[in-house]
């Protein structure tokens, strides 16, 4: 890292190797990598460490869970709408 630091143009003062780890983690998470994959790449002891440190970088869980529930409920109610009413 010390050798590379001098060769990289416009590297911020105080740039550390650990900053590269944070960058890697943020790239993996924003690309949708599974937390266990990120844990393995960073060599964290457990997924909890990864989630505690980088959990805020993940996609909006509320929106994705809403969309998943909407899709399931729409799929379950659609066939009932198209069935003939036999109760009459």
pLDDT in tens, the chain (88 residues): 778 777 888 888 888 888 888 889 989 988 888 899 999 999 999 999 998 988 887 766 677 788 888 999 888 887 665 566 565 5
In a domain, 20, yes or no: yes
In a domain, 86, yes or no: no
Neighbours of 45 (CB within 10 A): 8
Q: Would the CA dihedral through 50, 52, 29, 67 be positive or negative?
A: positive
In a domain, 88, yes or no: no
Q: Report the domain count for the chain.
A: 1
Host domain of residue 61? 2-81
Neighbours of 51 (CB within 10 A): 15
In a domain, 51, yes or no: yes
CA distance 8 to 6: 6
The pTM is what?
0.56
Burial (CB count <10 Å: 0-12, 13-18, 19+), residue 65 = exposed
């Amino acid at each position: 890292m010390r050798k590379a630091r001098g060769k990289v143009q416009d590297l911020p003062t105080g740039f550390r190797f650990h900053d590269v780890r944070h960058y890697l983690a943020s790239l993996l998470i924003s690309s949708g990598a599974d937390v266990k994959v990120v844990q393995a790449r960073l060599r964290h002891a457990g997924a909890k460490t990864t989630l505690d440190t980088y959990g805020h970088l993940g996609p909006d869980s509320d929106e994705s869970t809403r969309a998943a529930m909407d899709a399931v409920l729409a799929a379950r109610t659609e066939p009932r709408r198209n069935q003939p009413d036999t109760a009459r």
